[in-house]
Amino acid sequence: MKTYNDIYLAARRRLKAAGVEGFQVEARLIACAAAGKTKEELFRDLKLYVTDTYEAKVEDMLRRRIEGEPVAQITGEWEFMGYPIQVTPDVLIPRIDTEVLAETAIDHLRSKEVSGSRVLDLCTGSGCVGIAIAKNVPDCRLVLLDKSLKALAVCRNNVFRNNLARCIMCLDADVLKPPPMLIGRFDLIVANPPYIPSGELGELDSSVKDYEPRMALDGGEDGLMFYRSIASKWKSVLKDNGWLMMECGEGQAEAIEEILRRCGFTDLARYQDTIGVDRVVVGRVTNPYSIHVKGE
CATH number, position 270: 3.40.50.150
Residues 261 and 206 in one domain: yes
Residues 273 and 226 in one domain: yes
Whether 87 and 126 have beta carbons less than 8 Å apart is answered as: yes
Does position 114 have pLDDT exceeding 80, yes or no?
no
Tens-digit pLDDT profile for residues 189-206: 999 999 999 999 999 999
Mean pLDDT of 40-65: 96
Phi, psi of 125 (to 5 degrees): 60, -120
Residues 60 and 109 in one domain: no
Does position 295 have pLDDT exceeding 70, yes or no?
no
Tens-digit pLDDT profile for residues 213-235: 999 999 999 999 999 999 999 99
Number of domains making up the chain: 2
Mean pLDDT of 159-169: 97
Domain boundary residue among 67, 99, 122? 67
| Measured distance CA(9)–CA(58) in Å, rounded | 12
- Across 110-119, 122-131, 263-272, least confident range: 110-119
| Measured distance CA(100)–CA(273) in Å, rounded | 6
Mean pLDDT of 142-168: 98
Q: Is 183 exposed, middle or buried (0-12, 13-18, 19+ CB in 10 A)?
A: middle
Tens-digit pLDDT profile for residues 115-148: 789 999 999 999 999 999 999 999 999 999 999 9
Per the domain annotation, does 73 fall within a domain? no
Per the domain annotation, does 295 fall within a domain? no
pLDDT of residue 294: 47
Residue 45 belongs to domain spanning: 4-67
Domain boundary residue among 14, 44, 67? 67
Per the domain annotation, does 44 fall within a domain? yes
DSSP state letters, 207-272: HHHTTS-GGGTB--TTS-HHHHHHHHHSGGGEEEEEEEEEE--TT-HHHHHHHHHHTTEEEEEEEE
Residues 24 and 156 in one domain: no
Residues 147 and 273 in one domain: yes
